[in-house]
Amino acid sequence: MLSDRSYMRSDYPRETTSALTWLLSAVIAGSVLQFVFNFFLNSDAFLRLFALSPGGLLQGKVWTLLTFTFLHANVLHLVVNALGLFLIGREIAPMLGSRGIAQFSVGASLLGGLAWFATHYWAGTPATLVGASAVVAAMFVFFACVAPEREITFLLFFVLPITLRPKIAAWIFLTLSVLGFFFNELAGGALGWGGGIAHSAHLGGMLAGWLYYRFFYANNGWDRAADAGFLSRPLFRRRRQPAAVPQTGTSPIVPAAPADLRAEVDRILDKINSHGFGALTEQEKRLLDDAKDLLSRR
C-alpha cells in the first residue's frame, strides 16, 4: 500500500545529522589537523599526503582530487569557506537532500580539482591546491540558477553591506574568475593580480554547479536534458511556477488507470529520494496527496 511507504508517513523521522553538517565538520577537522601538523609538529607530511598537486596526482594520489577540499592555507581561508558552505549550503540543502548535497560536493571537488590540475600541468607551474572554494563556487552558482532574483545582503570586506541579486553576483564572480584565470594564473602569477587564488578551481566549481542544475535538478535527469536546444537557454532565470491545471468539480488530478497512477507516484517518490521534497513541483505535490487518498480507497 502507498500509505505503508516511509515517504508517506507523517511521523517520518528527520535525519539527525545532515550531509551539510558532515561536510562542514570534515572541512574544519581536516584543516585543524593540517594546522597541528604544520605549526605544532613542524611537519608538512599531512599536507603532502592530502593536498592536490600536479606531481602528486601523476604519482597516483587520486584521492587528493577530493581531499584538498578539507585543507586550508590559513585560518582566514578556512573561516571564509566555512561561512560560504554554511550560508549557501543551508539554502540549497532542502532542495537537494542529504544524498544530493553529497553528490553535489563530490562533483564540485572533482571538477574544480581537475580544472586546476589541467591548468597547472599545462602551464608547468609547481603549485599546491587546498580549500573548499570550488564547492562554495558550485553552491553559489546553483543557488543563482534556482533563485536568480532573490535579494541577498553580504558584508564587503566584512564591513560594507551590499545587496545584490544572486544572478548579478554570480556574473561578477564569473567575470573576476575568468580575468584572474587568464591574466594571473596562466601567467604564473607574474602580473601580481589575485595572486594565490585558484581561479581555475573556482571556474571548475561554477561549471559543476551549473551542470548539476541543468541536468539533475531543473530537468530531473540527463534524459530530459538531451534536447538540442538546452545550451541556448538563459543561464540564470526566474523559476516559473507551473501553470495551474484546470479541474472540474473536486476530482483529483491523477492518471485514470491505477497502473499509470502507481508508476507516476513511484517516479515522484524516486525524485524525493534523490533530490529532496523541495524539488517537487506544485502539481507533483498535489498529485501525491490526491494519490494517497485515492489508493487508500482501492
The predicted-structure confidence for 118-139, as pLDDT tens digits, reads as follows 999 887 777 899 999 999 999 9
Helix (H, G, I), strand (E, B) or coil at 17: coil
pLDDT at 188: 64
Q: What is the mean pLDDT of the chain?
A: 78
Number of H helices, E strands in the chain: 10, 2
- Higher-confidence residue of 99 and 192: namely 99
CB 135 within 8 A of CB 69: yes
The predicted-structure confidence for 233-278, as pLDDT tens digits, reads as follows 455 555 444 444 444 444 444 444 555 677 777 777 777 766 667 6
CB 80 within 8 A of CB 125: no
In the chain the domains, ranked by start, together with CATH numbers, are 18-224 (1.20.1540.10), 242-298 (no CATH)
pLDDT at 258: 58
CB half-sphere exposure, 276, CA atoms < 13 A: 22
The predicted-structure confidence for 149-188, as pLDDT tens digits, reads as follows 887 776 666 667 777 788 898 999 999 999 999 888 887 6
Which residues does 50 contact at the CB level (< 8 Å), separation at least 6?
30, 34, 63, 64, 67, 68, 70, 71
Which residues does 207 contact at the CB level (< 8 Å), separation at least 6?
111, 115
DSSP-derived secondary structure letter, 183: I
Element of type H or E holding 75 = helix 75-123
Q: In whole angstroms, how large is the CA radius of gyration of the chain?
A: 22
- Higher-confidence residue of 139 and 98: namely 139
Q: Whole-angstrom distance between the N-terminal and C-terminal Cα of the chain? A: 10
Of all residues in the chain, the percent with pLDDT exceeding 70 is: 70
At 101, the pLDDT band (50, 70, 90 cuts) reads very high
The pTM (predicted TM-score) of the whole model is 0.69
